[in-house]
Structures are given as C-alpha cells and as structure tokens.
Amino acid sequence: MNQYLLSILVFLPLLVGLALLFIPADRSRLFKWLMIIITGIQLILSVLVYVQMPRGKNVPAGVYEEASFQWVEKQSWIQMELGNWGKLSIEYFLGVDGLSAAMVLLTGIVMFIGAVSSWTIQQNLKGYASLYLVMSSSIMGCFLALDFFLFYLFFEFMLLPMYFLIGIWGGERREYASIKFFIYTLLGSLFILVVMIGLYLSVIDPVKTAQEMELIEQASEANAQVILQVQEALAQGKIQNDQQVKTFNMLAMMDAGNYIPDSLLHKLSNFALGGFALRFWAFLALFIGFAIKLPMVPLHTWLPDAHVEAPTPVSVVLAGILLKIGGYGMIRIVFSIFPDGAVDFAWFIGLCGMISIIYGGLNALAMADLKKMIAYSSVSHMGFVLIGLASLTSVGVNGAIYQMLSHGILSAMLFLVVGVLYDRTHDRQIAHYRGLFKQMPHYSVLVMIAFFASLGLPGFSGFIGEIFTLTGGFGSKVLPRWIAGISVLGIIIGAAYFLWTMQKMFLGTLWVKGKEDWLRQMPDLNTREWFMLLTLAILTLVFGVFPNLIFDTSVASAAALVHWIFQG
Amino acid sequence: MFSNTLLQQLNAKLDEVLGNLSLLSPELVLAGGILLIILLDLIVKKKGQFVLRIAALGILLISGLLVEGQYQVAFDYRGLRTGMLWVNPISVFFKFIFLLAGILTILLSTKQAGFISDRLKWGEYFALLLTLILGLNLLAVSVNLLMIYLSLELVSICSYMLAIFQFNKKSTEGAIKYLLFGAMSSGFMLYGMSLLYGFTGSLEIYDQAFIDNLLKADPLLLLIVFTLTVTGLFFKIAILPFHIWVPDVYEAAPTPIVAFFSVAPKAAGLLVLSTLSGVFMLPTMSKSSYSFHWIDLLAILAISTILVGNLAALWQNNAKRLLAYSSIAHAGFLLIGLVAHNPLGLQSLIFYLGIYLFMNFGAFLFIEFFATYYVGSNKYDIREYQGLGIKYPFMGICITLIMIALTGLPPTAGFTAKLLIFSALWESYQTQGWDLLLTLFIIGLLNTAISLFYYLKIPFYLFLRKPILKSPQPNLPKPSMYGQILLVILVLMILVLFFKADWLLQLSDKVLKEHIQLML
C-alpha cells in the first residue's frame, strides 16, 4: 500500500471516472455520492501523505536529489531508439518533497469541497462526474510527476475536461469562455513543449548511460562515483552518440553535468539567437508558459471570462488549484532547471508580480460583478507568489508556497460565497443587493470571515502569506526594494475593494433588486453550504494561527532550492 | 551463329527476369486479383457486392502475406535490387501502409459503416482500388525515373476515376479539376525528368554516372530542374502550391476513397520525395557559391503549406472540406521529417504516417457514419451535429479523441508523432544552425494552437450546443455495432501507440537501421 500510495492518489479518480461511463445515466444521486466519496478518499490519502512528510530544518529536502524524495515510484515507461541519436527514456516517476507536499494537501481539500459543492449541478451528471474525476487525477498528477513528459501529459490532459466543464455546464457566454481558456492555455503549454524538446535532446540520464556504456549492470548499482565518471566522460566528448540515453527526468535536467557539451542548452554553449544565449530564451519561454497559467498580467485575460462563465464548483477548482500549477511549475521546473535564468530575470519576475498585484487590485475595485471582482482579486493575490519566488530568499519561497495554499483555500471560499448567492437569485451584480445581513445573517458572517481573511487580517492565513512573501521581497539580494514597497499598496487596495463590497452588499437597510420575489428565494445557508464554508473558514484560521503546519514541511526544501539557485 | 548468341542472351535475360519475379510477387498477386475481380463481377449477380468485397479483402491479405515474406528477406539479404526496382526495408514498410489503408478502405465502404451509394459499380470500384494500390506498391520500389513516372501515372489515372464514383454533378466537377491539375503537374514532372536525362544520360537515380554528372551541372539550373521533377509528387502529397484540388476532390469523392487519398498516395509521394531529395541534396550542398539550398526550398514549402492549410481550415463548416485542409496542413508537418534530413527525421516521418493512417481513417469513418444516419439534409455540415454528442456519447468521445490526436495533444499518439518530428527538427537545427529551421519549428508549433480551434469545432457542436430539434426524431437507428467496433479499434490504436510508442518506434528504428546500412 505504502509503496504505491502516490499512484493510487493519482489514478483512483481516473479509474472511477472511466468506470462511471458504464453506469446508467439516470442514477444522478449515485454520481453525486461517488464523486464525494472518491474525492474524500483522495483527501484522506493526501492528508496521510502530508502528515508523514519529514518536518523541520535539517530533513531530506528533495528538490534536486532523488534519494531525499518521499514515496518515490520510478519505472521505465517508454524506451526508444532515436535513429543514430542514441536512446530516449521516459519514466513513470512520481515523488513528493517539501515543494509539492502543501500542493498535494491543497488538491485534496479543494477537490473534495468542489465535489460537495457540485451537489447543485442538475443536467447530465454522469458526464459531469466523470470529467470532474478525470480532472482531479490529472491535477494530482501534475504535482507529483518528476518526469517532464509525465508532467506535460497531466498538464495538457487537464485542459480537455476543463474545456467541457466550462463549455457544457457554464453560464451564458460559456462557449466563448471555454474556447478562450483552451487556446490560451494551450499556447502557454506549447512554449513549455518547445523547451521540453530542447531539454531532453540536451540531457542524458547518467545512470542509464552508464548501463549502456557497460560500466554497471543494474541501475541499483549506480553511485555518486559512477555518475561522476559518466559526467566526466560526457564533458570530454568520450561517449558515443548511440550510447547516450536522453531523458525527460527533471532531476537529471537540473544537474549541469548531464548536459551534452555541444548541445544548445548547455550552459557554456556559444550559440546565440538575437544576441542572447538560447538558455535565456528557453527560460523566458518556460516562464511565459507557466505565467499564463498563474496568471500574470498581461497574460491574465482568459481568467475573468473563464471564472465568470464556469459553474461554481469549477470556479472553485480553477481558482483553488489550477492557478497553483502555474506557480508550482515555476518552482519545480523553471527555477530549478534554469537557476542561472532565475537570477538574471528575478527583477523582471518581481516587476511582473508587482504589476499583477496593483493592476489586478485596481481592476477588482472597478468591477460591478461580484464574481469578476473575486477573479481579479485572484490575479492580485497570485502576484504575491511571484514576488516571493523572485526574491530568491528562503523566506520568500516559503511564503510563496504558503500563499498558494492560503489562496487556494480562500479563493475556494470566495467563489462558494458567490455561488450561494447566485444559486438563489441568478444575479451577481454587487449593486443589486444591500443590507443582506438582515436577510441572511449566518451567510453574512461567513462572507465577512472570507473577506477579512483575504484582505490580510492577522490571525488568518492570507496575512501570513502576504507578510512572508513581502518580507522575502524586502530582504532580497536581487530585487530592488521599491518593488516590494509598491506591492504593499496591493494590500491596501485589497482592503478597499473587500470592505467596500461588504459595506455595499451586507450593511445598511435591506434592499434587493428583485424585491419580494427574490427575498422569498433567499433563505439562509443550508447544511451543505454551512459545511463547506465552515470547513474552509476553520482551515484558514488554523493555518493562520499555526503557520508552522505548512512551513515545517517546506522550509528545508525552500532553503535547498535557494541554495541550489545561487550555487548553480 | 548470330541467332545462337541472341538466343543465349535471351535465355540469360529470361532467367534473370524469372529469378527476379519473386521480388514482384505481391504486385503480381494484385495484378491477378484485379482481373479476377473484373471476371467475378461478370459472373456473380446476386449478392455480388458481398462476394466482391470478400475477394478484394482476400487478395489484399494474400498480397500482405507475401509482403511479410519480403520483409524477412529484406532484413536477411540486405535488400533486393534490379535496375528498375529496389525492394528495401523502408519500401516494404510502406507497402504495409498501403495494404492496410486498402483493407480499411474496403471495410469503410459498407452500408454498416454509413457508406451508401446506390449507383455505385462495385466491381469497377474494387478493381480500381486494387490497381491504385498496385501503382503505389510499384512507386514505393521504383528507383528509375521512368518507372517512377509510370507508376505515378497508374496511381493518378485510378485516382481520377475513383474521384468521380458518386456520379453526380459535384463529383464530375471535382474529378475534372483533379484531372486537369494532375495532368499539368505530371507534365511538369516529365519535363523535369527529361532535362535530368539530358544532364546525366541516365535514368537510374542510384547510378554512379547519374550522380557524377549531376555534380558537374550548374546548381541553379539544377534547382529548377529538381523543382520541376518533384511537382508530380507535391501534387500527390498536396504541398503548396499544388494543393488546390484537395478540398474539391475530398468533398466530391466517396468518403472511404477520400480517406485512402489522404493517407496512401501521400505516403508514397513522401517516400519517393525522400529518395529523390537524398540525391538532390548532394549537388546543391557541395556548391557553396549559391546560398540557396534544396532543404531551404522544402522548409519554405513546409512553412507555407502548414500556414495555408490551417488558416483555410479555420473558415470551413463542411466536415469533409475541413479535413481536406487539415490534411494539407499535415502534409506540411510530414514534410518537416524530410526537412530535418537526419535519420531521426525519417524515423519520425514513418511513425507519423503510421499514426496518421489511424487518425484520418477514424475521422472519415465518423463523418460518413454520422452524416448518413443522424444529420439532416445538409449532409456534411458540422453545424448540424448540434447536441448529438449528448445523445450518442460513445461516438462523441471517440471523435473527440481523434480530433485531439489530429491536433497533437496527449494522451494520444498524435502527440508522440508531433513530438518526434519536432525533435528531429531541433536536432537538425542544433547541427546546422540555420535560422530557417528555427522559424519552421516555431511556426509549426504555433499552428498547433491554431489548428485546435477548428479541430475542436466538431466536439464543440456535438457537446456544447443544444440540439436543434426539441422532439426526438422517430426513425433514427441505433449506431451499428460494425461501425462502432471499427471506430473503437482505430481509437484504441491511437491511444495504445501513445502509451506504448516503443512498439511502432522499434519497428521503424529497425527498418531505418537496415536501410542506412544498405545505403553505405
């Protein structure tokens, strides 16, 4: 069981999702329960993974060292001969370290909450449930894959269920929003694909190459000495073409010693394009690919459309986890494989983060639609992740991971809040409601918790995330101070739009646009809504009061990553 | 005395011909089979269609078995060659593709798969199809310019006739266009070949004299001659600017035949093109005074073919025309394998063709099957698919997977094929450093995003739009088992070859390694 824990975590929903196709379509309650049960199991398993992670400063960190990953599963998947160009090896390679543990936990939580909130979906539940479960698999796969091909497979495969989930169950302009989402993110992933092709043709797997060279017989015999021997031979050009085993293994891509000397992505390659080394362009392409997913201003324009048109549970998943894959991809792939680029571009990334924070915030301030406002607040909050990452300090990277988790929980809560209102009146205009506290007091209290937590009130998780990323930004050796300084304004803007919205919608005398008709349809929260919102509220409070629950697992890995970047 | 030596010579010649006959056994079976089918057509009247189909399938299978035999021989005895023909591992592999495409075409030409044509003459239909395959088989093994031209003409003439087989106004128009363009391009080709003969005094492309004399000729003039020579092939592969016939013919011809056109002649054209460009590269490569290179020409053609195919496809609402433009774009992607001009390029080309066979047959099967039973008056209009995916989810999922594969996204083998072909291009760029290759690389990848837009149109109408008719139509049949199973097999191939890409790759690698050894 323990040995295949990660595989079960990834593939359980997929298998059930496919099995659903054989159940008659009219058993809608069964589909709803199955969705909740399966994501519930996934949640339990991800908590199991999380609590067993090593904690503290001096524990195995993962990042670039295979031995210190947890629950590693490594199997040869595709081996093929490439003409005269050696061999290609694709592995089924899963593992968790401090960088991904929090994301795995978040996926478990948000997918479960999303499944519970899917209870209100009416039409064609069979299709919905299987798409939702398939998507759950591919998201989990993204956070666990350590082989680039495998990662890319999960990364791309996510788009298709998402396209249909928005396109079939979405709002009025769902067709436009879904195709925009699909093409936008596909464009991003093509940037990633370019670099993936370049990387795998430049990098060899030292262990498998050693086997080809007949230095060792079994992969298990490999040790540091053998690897060093292979790398030296490679640097001296002593390994023939047909003995080189090219690999998609991300960890092999991180080690500069594994690059073939005359390959274009080698650190010392003389090759230049437009006056810059190809590594420079590769870093930029990868960064843009993940920045679209994050999303970073000015590549964010798909997000408001997708969010507004998506049904509530899909919005929850989209904001709660899908955006995090952008941030996670930057840590795991962009920064780890191109540490040189990370240092060179830190100011640029920081600047983009700052612009995202301010621009997203100002846009949120101007929105008349509650869901759009929250969508833009996501853009703003994800900007903090960029600041934390770009600071290249241990505090900042920890903060970025924490901010992703915190935003995952809070944005899920915020979109649920919108969903509650939308389910009752089918109207999301902020100006159409006033004084809701009198009509729905319980709901209003939970909304206040969500808003205050999001605007960064101490005691809730949003505060910790913002403080740590900004501290990282101020203490950074590579970022100018003013970037973090201006970003602080983002917190004030955030406070402005959340408080303003709260004042307009929940305080004052009761008035709604639809008058009596609407009020009749507006009872307070039901049990299911209570359960979802309360769970998330408790989580944000717990993580806000005990931030070490998260930091303990990520601190060693974050430090290792920063050390890795500056050493490399 | 004189007559005696002549007799001896004749005897020796006869022995050689008889000895080499084994090289041609699959083709001989095909030729015999064609006659058999024409005879059968005269004899059987009742159940004629059924008998003819079984006979045609049987002939293809026997021919396939014989090709399998050649495959073993080709691997063991390092190829079999005469002055005209050369049976080598790669050509044997391509023969398999043609035969498989032929078998699938026959399987698609049934009522159960949605192919209904009352006025069709089945005897002629199968006989022409087999002749077409015979021509392709010969084309694959030709190493002599004259032989190439003759087999290409055999292919062309059968194609013109098959294109008209719906026997309506539209198909007449399409077939005439096809004939005119085809005749023009083969005219160019013949002109180019005669100039080549003038330069070299030889028609055998692997003849040492042929290559030596080419190296002596003026490179710029050669480039023009080469371009003229390959026009006939460009026409078959549907490379810009010889692609104009494609949408009209695809729209007008019987769908199984269209599926065949979109794969088999393309594959044959690419094979011959790769052989020829191997030879043509030598003279343009060695003279550095001319900065323009044969590969440059191919690269520019690939870029423009991909662009034109994709951009034109964006505006199509007719499913067959959409797939026609998509097949033009794919021709551009296939050409990348030749532009890369390294072993990996050829290997990925073979892999791509193998996958493309399954994808395209799947797509055309779906279109015809769906159009016949479930779509209203406007048979191939995609907009008429509205909401049908929800009603027939199984078929809908299958076609979505095929469209995803055509776009080149995981988890389908379409992705692996694109990944390999772009890897080959990257390798080539890494060794050559030509900016044109990088341009091709970037434009090719960007076009994947563009193509998604129109490939998604079909799933979009199937699933995202509500059905037009509120009340269920009364007399819609259930999807036939036969059609569904055929579709599932094709889709499974696309999926399996993603998860186990090694199976096809190892084969293509073996073929290629053998082939390279032979060339040295």
Quick: pLDDT tens for A353-397: 999 999 999 999 999 999 999 999 999 999 999 999 999 999 999
Mean pLDDT of A297-326: 91
d(CA A359, CA A382): 12
Within an 8 Å CB–CB cutoff, is residue A266 touching chain B?
no
Using a CB-CB cut-off of 8 Å, the residues of chain A touching B457 are: none
d(CA B57, CA B255): 18
pLDDT-wise least confident of A310-314, B113-117, B403-407, B454-458: B113-117
Within an 8 Å CB–CB cutoff, is residue B517 touching chain A?
no
Residue A1, pLDDT > 60, answer no
- Residue bearing tokens 């591992």: B89
Cβ of A187 within 8 Å of Cβ of B449? The answer is yes
Cβ of A83 within 8 Å of Cβ of B509? The answer is yes
Within an 8 Å CB–CB cutoff, is residue A288 touching chain B?
no
d(CA A449, CA A456): 11
At residue B121, what are phi and psi to the nearest 5 degrees? -95, 105
Q: Can you give A291-355 as a three-state secondary structure string?
A: HHHCCCCCCCCHHHHHHHHCCHHHHHHHHHHHHHHHHHHHHHHHHHHCHHHHHHHHHHHHHHHHH
Q: Please tell me which residue of chain B has the smallest CA distance to A78.
A: B502
Beta bridge partners of A78: A90
Residue A46, pLDDT > 90, answer yes
A333: nearest Cα among A155, A105, A538, A544: A155
Could you give the C-alpha distances from A122 to A115, B281, B467, B470, in angstroms and in order? 14, 63, 18, 19
Q: Which helix (H) or strand (E) holds B428?
A: helix B413-432
Cβ of A80 within 8 Å of Cβ of B422? The answer is no
With cut-offs at 50, 70 and 90, classify the pLDDT of residue B119.
low
d(CA B509, CA A165): 41
Nearest to A83 among B347, B390, B442 (CB): B347
Within an 8 Å CB–CB cutoff, is residue A174 touching chain B?
yes
Nearest to A156 among B409, B500, B509 (CB): B409
ipTM of the complex: 0.88
d(CA A51, CA A310): 33
Using a CB-CB cut-off of 8 Å, the residues of chain B touching A21 are: 393
CB interface of B with A, residues 382-401, below 8 Å: 390, 393, 400
Helix axes A148-157, A174-200, angle to 10 degrees: 170
Within an 8 Å CB–CB cutoff, is residue B217 touching chain A?
no
Give me the percent of chain A exceeding a pLDDT of 90. 53
Residue B289, pLDDT > 50, answer no
Mean pLDDT of B111-135: 84
pLDDT at B86: 83
Measured in angstroms, the CA of B425 and the nearest CA of chain A are apart by 10
d(CA A201, CA A241): 12
Beta bridge partners of B447: none
pTM, rounded to two decimals: 0.92
pLDDT at A213: 81
Query: Which own/partner contact pairs does A40-43 have at CB distance under 8 Å and 24+ positions apart?
Result: A40/A112, A40/A115, A41/A12, A42/A9, A42/A12, A42/A13, A42/A107, A42/A108, A42/A111, A42/A112, A42/A136, A42/A140, A43/A108, A43/A109, A43/A111, A43/A112
Which residues, at least 6 apart from A215, have a Cβ–Cβ distance to it below 8 Å?
A226, A229, A230
Within an 8 Å CB–CB cutoff, is residue A340 touching chain B?
no
Using a CB-CB cut-off of 8 Å, the residues of chain A touching B402 are: none
Measured in angstroms, the CA of B497 and the nearest CA of chain A are apart by 11
Name the range with the highest mean pLDDT among B18-32, B164-178, B438-452: B438-452
Using a CB-CB cut-off of 8 Å, the residues of chain A touching B310 are: none
Using a CB-CB cut-off of 8 Å, the residues of chain B touching A262 are: 430
Within an 8 Å CB–CB cutoff, is residue A271 touching chain B?
yes
Which residues, at least 6 apart from A322, have a Cβ–Cβ distance to it below 8 Å?
A139, A158, A162, A293
A321: nearest Cα among A447, A143, A153: A143
Using a CB-CB cut-off of 8 Å, the residues of chain B touching A186 are: 409, 448-449, 452
Residue-wise pLDDT for B199-235, tens only, equals 888 888 888 888 888 888 877 788 888 889 999 999 9
B404: nearest Cα among B314, B494, B300, B332: B494
Cβ of A187 within 8 Å of Cβ of B346? The answer is no
Residue-wise pLDDT for B78-107, tens only, equals 556 667 788 888 888 899 999 999 999 999
Interface test with A, best of B383, B406, B419 (most A CBs within 10 A): B419
Q: Using only C-alpha atoms, what is the Rg of chain B?
A: 23
CB contact at 8 A, A397 and A386 = no
Cβ of B423 within 8 Å of Cβ of A82? The answer is yes
pLDDT at B262: 93
CB contact at 8 A, B209 and B200 = yes
Within an 8 Å CB–CB cutoff, is residue B503 touching chain A?
no
Token duo for residue B81: 């060659």
Nearest to A183 among B345, B452, B465 (CB): B452
Q: Please tell me which residue of chain A has the smallest CA distance to B396.
A: A127
Residue-wise pLDDT for B491-512, tens only, equals 999 999 998 888 888 888 888 8
A163: nearest Cα among B437, B403, B205, B219: B403
